[in-house]
Chains A and B, each alone.
Chain A
Amino acid sequence: MDQSALLAVLLTIVTASTPLLLAALGELVTERAGVLNLGVEGMMVMGAVAGFAVALMTGSPYLGIVASALAGALLAVPFGVLTLNLVANQVATGLALTLLGLGLSGLIGERFVGQPGVRLQKLAIPGLSDIPFVGPILFGQDVLVYLSIALAVLVSWVVFRSRAGLILRAVGDNHASAHALGYSVIRVRWAAVLFGGAMAGLGGGYLSLAYTPQWIENMTAGRGWIALALVVFSSWLPSRLVIGAYLFGAVTILGFFVQGLGVGVPAQLLSSLPYIVTIAALVVISTRRGRARADTPACLGQPFVPDR
């Protein structure tokens, strides 16, 4: 493999992994609070259309990023009202949210289809970005790539090292006790749901602003579901989530790379490889039983009604 081919592969892995990482980080926090929101795909696609539209109208991809996060959070609002305040079934509401997001984004985006988008430029740090090979990978990415890594570190720190994280996990693991201690379970969950929506929106915004700067209906193409699976894969640990997202991205791209070499490995096998690897890793993790169970938020998916 010569250097330029290797560089192309590595750069492509980063762009393929970043939207998954962003959306999955949000869902991780939501699930840590005990809420299962299956609407990631819907919130992602809303982020994609909003980011694209605002960037196009203002000419600024950065305003587009802000808009995508807001749109994701906004779509999470009906989910919050239904599941947290009205105690509706989380699974059904989440699925409905995905359908709503896909439909609504198609409707909003109708007039943006076919318009050339505004690209989120890659950073160019004089000196550093020009270093051969290492420069473009480490110092030449766009701002969302760095943000995704920074947020992974931040989420990890907040969840495990801060008082807010302690409350978040208490709410997710035993909402009755958290309530008895005087914490507002509903309020904490609301915050987590909104954060999850904003992050899913960012993931979608990455698609329409940096990955493929255009808007087309259903452009998330199932990435929200993969983000959901990655959260389980990571056993709710942000550090493992980074590994999972990049592993998934890497195996997908390497599959393409091997096909391009024309060595005769069946294409179906290569395209199922990311899923096989993810499942294999999941099996390995879950064989260490005590650990996996300890990490699963105990109240995940359970509704909470304050009794007094």
Chain B
Amino acid sequence: MKKWSALTRRDAMASALAGSVALALSASLAGPAAAADKLKAAWVYVGPVGDFGYSYQHDQGRIAVEKALGDKVQTTFVENVPEGPDAERAIERLARDGNKLIFTTSFGFMDPTLKVAKKFPDVKFEHATGYKRADNVATFSARFYEGRYVIGQIAGKMTKSGTIGYIVSFPIPEVVSGINAFMLGAQSVNPNVKVKIIWVNSWYDPGKEADAAKVLIGQGADILTQHTDSTAALQVASEKGILGFGQSSDMDKFAPKAQITSIVDDWSHYYIGRVKAALDGSWKAVDTWDGMKEDAVVLPPIKNVPDDVKAMAEKTAAAIKAGTLKPFGGKITKQDGSVVENLDDGAILSMNWYVKGIDDKLPQ
């Protein structure tokens, strides 16, 4: 494995590593051609792999690919790539380096990915959470909102003050549908529950996330959840002796007494499947939106709650997996009082309104 970074860090180390790996390879395989037969696949991350959140989970998927198909594939990643024009440079460099399958894992990489894909028609691209495709650009995402319905239900049961704090990043559909699914889950067991929302306008700022958590607790929230990537909010919850949920990865070890469960993104099945498809020639530029059923969204074992709450949540999760419960099925009352029914994927993917009962005005 070879790794390098947008900030040129680890370059020296990486090339030293690559050198020694190459030596070892040619020695053990007794033929330099062996390495060239491998499919080169690359990943582009918006954050550091050490964020223990979103980018970390994507990298876990990459590592799973290495483990499963290590003899057929050679993987690379670039971390800390800013969304925007810089991303194009990073993606293009990967394509020029001979990578034949490139995963770009953040919404803001959408246009840069398409631009580079046009220049390299024989390279396959996969863009996460976007909606623009091309002959050699597939898209993928996960139904995070399914998990949020389950944790909403737990929060609705567990809150004593009747107020839940929710820390969020940016008002994009993925985040808004998460808030709504959470609220619908909470309302299903506690009709009068209140959700207080604070937008920190960042995916990753531990300090601000902690500040927002403290303010929410001060305002009466006794359970926290967040759609930002650091562990800070959960740690504040732990300090103040209240409960909360993890985001993107299992954050149990940061706050073992506070985390009930987490919304874990598990990309490994998807990545392994797509790399296999690229290897056997069946790869197509399609859109994939997996959820709890496909184990793309996973909830680690529920703890720190009474057994009946745990049983209820597990039942709900099973129903979502079986397809008998759809978070956005049935009648839903919007914040403005209008009623919608059985939302389809298109409506969920473009959601820009709140359900009734949310104590906030959605930034437009």
Q: Which of B28-72 contact A (CB under 8 A)?
A: 47-48, 50-52
The chain A residue with its CB closest to the CB of B13 is A107
Interface flag for A116 (CB, 8 Å): yes
> With contacts A9-B218, A213-B235 known, is A221 near B50, CB below 8 A?
no
Which listed residue, B10, B80, B211, B253, touches A12 by the CB 8 Å rule? B211
CA gap between A15 and B220 in the complex, in Å: 20
- Chain A 1-34 interface mask (CB, 8 Å, partner B; 1/0): 0001111110110011001000000000000000
> With contacts A211-B207, A262-B197, A271-B201 known, is A257 near B363, CB below 8 A?
no
Query: Are the CB atoms of A260 and B253 closer together than 8 Å?
Result: no
Which listed residue, B9, B51, B201, touches A267 by the CB 8 Å rule? B201
Interface flag for B360 (CB, 8 Å): yes
Q: Which of A51-59, A96-104, A279-287, A290-298 contacts B (4 or more CB under 8 A)?
A: A96-104
Range class of the B interface residue count: 35 or more
Query: Are the CB atoms of B200 and A116 closer together than 8 Å?
Result: no
Query: Are the CB atoms of A116 and B254 closer together than 8 Å?
Result: yes
Interface flag for A223 (CB, 8 Å): yes
With a CB–CB cut-off of 8 A, which chain B residues contact A12? 211, 214-215, 218
Query: Are the CB atoms of A103 and B5 closer together than 8 Å?
Result: yes
With a CB–CB cut-off of 8 A, which chain A residues contact B216? 260
Which listed residue, A212, A218, A219, A268, touches B80 by the CB 8 Å rule? A218
CA gap between A260 and B218 in the complex, in Å: 10
Which listed residue, B50, B171, B219, B253, touches A106 by the CB 8 Å rule? B50
CA gap between A216 and B360 in the complex, in Å: 30
> With contacts A5-B219, A214-B235, A267-B199 known, is A113 near B9, CB below 8 A?
no
Query: Are the CB atoms of A221 and B214 closer together than 8 Å?
Result: no
Query: Are the CB atoms of A253 and B50 closer together than 8 Å?
Result: no
> With contacts A221-B202, A262-B196, A266-B363 known, is A212 near B10, CB below 8 A?
no
Query: Are the CB atoms of B219 and A260 closer together than 8 Å?
Result: yes
Query: Are the CB atoms of A218 and B204 closer together than 8 Å?
Result: yes
Interface flag for A256 (CB, 8 Å): yes
With a CB–CB cut-off of 8 A, which chain B residues contact A267? 171, 198-199, 201, 363
Interface flag for B100 (CB, 8 Å): no
A141 to nearest B CB, angstroms? 14
Query: Are the CB atoms of B206 and A221 closer together than 8 Å?
Result: yes
Interface flag for A217 (CB, 8 Å): yes
Query: Are the CB atoms of B204 and A221 closer together than 8 Å?
Result: yes
Which listed residue, A7, A113, A214, touches B206 by the CB 8 Å rule? A214
- Chain B 4-22 interface mask (CB, 8 Å, partner A; 1/0): 0101111001000000000
Interface flag for B275 (CB, 8 Å): no
Q: Which of A185-238 contact B (CB under 8 A)?
A: 207, 211-214, 216-219, 221-223
Which listed residue, B48, B215, B360, touches A256 by the CB 8 Å rule? B215
CA gap between A7 and B364 in the complex, in Å: 32
B215 to nearest A CB, angstroms? 4
Query: Are the CB atoms of B50 and A16 closer together than 8 Å?
Result: no
24 contacts between A and B (CB under 8 A): A8-B215, A12-B211, A12-B214, A15-B211, A102-B7, A103-B7, A114-B52, A214-B231, A214-B235, A216-B48, A216-B230, A217-B48, A217-B51, A218-B80, A218-B204, A219-B207, A252-B211, A253-B215, A256-B215, A257-B215, A260-B197, A266-B364, A267-B171, A267-B363
The 8 closest A-B pairs by CB, nearest first: A8-B218, A103-B9, A262-B359, A267-B199, A217-B48, A264-B361, A221-B205, A113-B50
A-contacting residues of B (Cβ < 8 Å)?
5, 7-10, 13, 47-48, 50-52, 80, 165, 171, 196-202, 204-208, 210-212, 214-220, 230-232, 235, 253-254, 359-361, 363-364
B-contacting residues of A (Cβ < 8 Å)?
4-9, 11-12, 15-16, 19, 99, 102-104, 106-107, 109-110, 113-114, 116, 207, 211-214, 216-219, 221-223, 252-253, 256-257, 259-262, 264-268, 271
